[in-house]
Every structure is written in C-alpha cells, then in structure tokens.
Amino acid sequence: MDRDTSSSLVEDFRRARATTVSLCSTLAAEDTVVQSMPDTSPTKWHLAHITWFFEHFVLEEYVKDYTRFNEDFNYLFNSYYYSVGKMHARPQRGLLSRPTYAEVFAYREYVDIAMQQLLQQRDDREIVERVILGINHEQQHQELLLTDIKHVFSCNPLSPPVNPQLKLPASATANEYAYRDGRSGIHQFGATGLGFSFDNETPRHDALLHEHRIGTRLVTNGEYREFIEDSAYSNSNLWLSDGWAVINERDWQRPLYWSEDLATEFTLGGMRDIDEDAPVCHVSFYEADAFARWAGARLPTEFEWEDAAAGQSVEGNLMESEFWQPAAVTAGSSQLFGDVWEWTSSAYSAYPGFAPLAGSLGEYNGKFMCNQMTVRGGSCVTAIDHVRASYRSFFYPDARWQFLGIRLAKDGAA
C-alpha cells in the first residue's frame, strides 16, 4: 500500500497499532513488566513508548491545546531523545511496575483517538510524513517487542512459549552452499526516493564494488554445528581480538538459545529440536566473522548485499508468515529478505552527504553511527511492508538477542 496517500493513512495507522496489540495477546500482565538485561525493554514499556512517540512528535506539534494523558509519561517513556528532556534510565525500565498494564492500554486508546481525529481533519504533507515515520517506528518496536520477550521467557526455568500457537514451517533440505557472481564497478546505493525510507538510507550515492561472489543462501544450523564441533570456539586464529576476548569472558560456546548438547533451542514457540537446514540465528558479529573465516570466506559488505537484493521482490519468511523462527527453504530461494538480519562487514556510518532529520528527530539514527555494524534484510519477525533493499539496521558486534545470522561472500569472480 502506498503510504504517501493520505486517504490510506488512517487505515495504515490503525493496522500498525492493532498489530502491536495482537502480538501481546498471549501475554499476561506479569510478563510485560520483566526486563531480562539492559539491552531489552519490558513489553509494557514498548507499548507506552511508541504511543509517546505519536503523542510527542505529532499531537503536541500539530493539535492546538493538546492535553497530555499524563505529564509523567514524558519522562518515563522517552527513549533517547535528549533534546526533548530527561528520561528514565534504560537499564531500570523493569522497575516500572507503575503505571500498570491497564493504564498503558488506556494511554494507547487516548492517543489513538486523538491521532485519528487529527488525520481525519488534516492532511498536511508535514503531518503525513511525520505519521508515516511513526508507523515505521512502531513496526521497529513490534520486532523489538518479540525479540525482547523471547529473551525474557528464555530466562524462565520453565522455558514457556511466548505463543504456543505458532505455525511450524515445512521441512526442506538445504542445497550445498554455493555462490553467484556479483556486479563490479561503480553503482548507486541508498534510498531511491520512491516510498518511505529512514534518513540513514540517504542520500543515494555512488559506491565501488570489487569483483566478488555472494552466497545464494544463508548459513544453516547444521553448518554452524560443524563449526562448533571443529573446536572453533577454542581456536584463537579464527577470531578478531575483541571477539576472542568476548567469547572467553562470557564463556560463549554456541549460539544464544541453543542447548548445551546442540540438539534443541529456545524459540518463541518454546523449546524445539534444532532444524539442521534452517538458518542459524542469534549469533554475534564476532561469531559470524569467525565462521566466515573458518569456511574460507568472508562476510559481504552492505553494498554487495544491497546490490544482490536490488530489484528483488520483498518476500520470504517475515512476521506475517507466523513462524517467528528462521525456516529452511526449498531450492531457488535466496533468503535475501526475512529469516535473519544478516551481518555485513560494513561499519554503520553515514553516507556521503548524509543529513539527519531536523529537530529532535535528528537523534533517531545519526548519533548511533559509531562502533556498530550494519545488518541487512530483515528477519522472521519483521513486517513485510517495513523492509526493502536499501534498509539498513545496526547493532553492536557482541549483540545476539536479535535474529542475527550469516551469509558468506568471497573475493573475485568464479
């Protein structure tokens, strides 16, 4: 659907808001308060924060004499917008037993009503663009909500499923790992200007591709198990220095959520047998890089990945598939979209000529362009209309709680 047409905007807004609520349908109020580590946020906080985003950046900007639902919420649910004001410390979000879960839903209803009234009365281009950004922001938090509650439930000794009704993907056998030639030369990358994009996808610019080959699929659990069984976690020659320090300090021996015997893994559907042919996930950049080196390959650059994905239709195992877990695919699928965010070898940095959004929204992306790595492609919990070839996300190299996986590349042509 074209979100640039105001006639569809109210429906897009309602759909995004309803989807978020539906993701919480199997949770009890007690589940939504827990914060399992500083990188995660409680479900209740996500529900309130994305509501605060619309309240602060849309309603307070464009509705005359708008009355906030609760003055304290500006402090409690601001995430990282320092130009807006002070905020509650991120690692302490799990201490917010109040406001209650019910109060947060009352807040959502209050803001939803005001938003729909605004959108039915005005279609100013600036408002439309701000709301489209808010919808995409909500979709980002839908994904975060699921990955965060997965980590929360994984810490429970009962290993309960977040959603016991999730569909099981059909079985498939992965083909032997293969590569195809990528283009070389100078080509353009970044947002095309057609449809929505985040500021970090701009401006479209030239970049040089050297001769390379890129993997035709993602690395599987079975292939990663071979890496483990080859004592890779004790072979310092495979690891970047920081990675070697991290895996030893934290005693990493396998992907996050894998059992010690490498037979089962925790999923949003509870404990399941590991599918040998499904893409490996919940590995850090350090693990992805070490695997690539072990396999005699490397990680692709973000531009090599984008070039492979350019012109491809967005299809694959995404949130709407209702697996919420990477799935094995039949021959012919490149798995470029969905399943796992793919680590690239590219540091997350600004494109030439990058300019952040004006005002406080300029804090959305630009200030994080340091010490993180770019990932591409979306995951099994990314909304299908949220991802595109130019979309770039970013994580610290030791991150594992997101659905993060591996595609390989090699230098030179076949």
Nearest to 150 by CA among 45, 37, 249: 37
Strands (E), 185-329: 185-189, 205-209, 212-215, 264-267, 270-273
**What is the value of pTM for the model shown?**
0.96
Say which residue the tokens 């353009």 belong to. 188
Contacts by 358-362, CB closer than 8 A, 24 or more apart = 359/83, 360/57, 360/81, 360/83, 360/84, 361/57, 361/133, 362/199
How many of the other CB atoms lie within 10 Å of CB of 228?
A: 16
Radius of gyration of the chain (CA): 21
| Residue environment code for 157-188, b if the CB has 16+ CB neighbours within 10 A, otherwise e | eeeebbbeebeebeeeebeeeebeebeeeeee
pLDDT in tens, the chain (414 residues): 344 445 589 999 999 999 999 999 999 999 999 999 999 999 999 999 999 999 999 999 999 999 999 999 999 999 999 999 999 999 999 999 999 999 999 999 999 999 999 999 988 999 999 999 999 999 999 999 999 999 999 999 999 999 999 999 888 999 899 999 999 999 999 999 999 999 999 999 999 999 999 999 999 999 999 999 999 999 999 999 999 999 999 999 999 999 999 999 999 999 999 999 999 999 999 999 999 999 999 999 999 999 999 989 999 999 999 999 999 987 667 889 999 999 999 999 999 999 999 999 999 999 999 999 999 999 999 999 999 999 999 999 999 999 999 999 999 987
State residue 321's pLDDT score: 95
Nearest to 264 by CA among 308, 254, 289, 382: 254
Nearest to 378 by CA among 305, 303, 307, 273: 305
Cα separation, 101 vs 98, in Å, equals 8
Domain 179-411 has CATH 3.90.1580.10: yes
State residue 398's pLDDT score: 98
β-bridge pairing 205-209 and 179-181: unpaired
Cα separation, 200 vs 379, in Å, equals 19
Structure tokens at 322: 């209702």
The answer to whether the beta carbons of residues 78 and 51 sit under 8 Å apart is: no
State residue 3's pLDDT score: 41
Say which residue the tokens 């985003």 belong to. 53
Structure tokens at 283: 């590995």
State residue 2's pLDDT score: 42
**Which DSSP helix (H) or strand (E) runs through 394?**
strand 392-395
| Residue environment code for 189-210, b if the CB has 16+ CB neighbours within 10 A, otherwise e | bbbeeeebbbbbbbeeeebebe
How many of the other CB atoms lie within 10 Å of CB of 367?
A: 11
β-bridge pairing 404-405 and 341-347: parallel
* Domain segments of the chain as ranges: 6-154, 179-411
CA angle 257, 258, 260 (to 5 degrees): 125
State residue 9's pLDDT score: 95
For domain 6-154, the CATH class is mainly alpha
The answer to whether the beta carbons of residues 207 and 353 sit under 8 Å apart is: no
Chain centroid offset of residue 252 CA = 22
State residue 24's pLDDT score: 97
Longest dimension (CA), the chain: 66
The answer to whether the beta carbons of residues 334 and 216 sit under 8 Å apart is: yes
The answer to whether the beta carbons of residues 294 and 177 sit under 8 Å apart is: no
State residue 331's pLDDT score: 66
Chain centroid offset of residue 311 CA = 22
